[in-house]
Structures are given as C-alpha cells and as structure tokens.
C-alpha cells in the first residue's frame, strides 16, 4: 500500500541527493578526496527540495 503514490519519484530524488552529499562529505572528512574539490562538487549539486 502506498500512502503517497505521486511522491515516490520525488522521494528517491531527494534521498539520492542527500546520500551523494553525505558520501562526498565523508570522503573529504577522511582525506580521501581534496577538500576544495569536494566543496565544489557539493556546490554544483542541486539542493534537494
């Protein structure tokens, strides 16, 4: 049973954006990618609604 069938696609877009941002932050926090590149990648992402 879906409570809000019209929102499923939007939910997954929001979820994916948040997970990508957290992954980039984790990589930067653990010195696995350059901090400036991580910040630029986050800035380039669209904000989840």
Residue-wise pLDDT for 5-46, tens only, equals 889 889 899 999 999 999 999 999 999 999 999 999 999 987
Query: Which pLDDT belongs to residue 6?
Result: 86
Query: Which pLDDT belongs to residue 49?
Result: 61
Query: CB-side exposure of 48: number of CA atoms within 13 Å?
Result: 14
Domain extent, residue 30, equals 9-44
Q: Rounded distance, CA 29 to CA 47, Å?
A: 21
Query: Which pLDDT belongs to residue 37?
Result: 97
- Confidence class for position 48, pLDDT limits 50, 70, 90: low
Number of domain units in the chain: 1
Residue 21 lies in a domain: yes
Residue 3 lies in a domain: no
Residue at token pair 């989840």: 48
Query: Which pLDDT belongs to residue 4?
Result: 84
> Nearest CA to 9 among 48, 42, 41, 47?
48
Query: Which pLDDT belongs to residue 9?
Result: 87
């Amino acid at each position: 049973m879906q409570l809000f069938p019209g929102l499923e696609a939007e939910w997954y877009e929001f979820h994916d954006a948040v997970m990508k941002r957290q992954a980039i932050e984790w990589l930067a926090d653990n010195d696995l990618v350059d901090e400036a590149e991580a910040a630029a990648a986050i800035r380039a992402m669209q904000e989840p609604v």
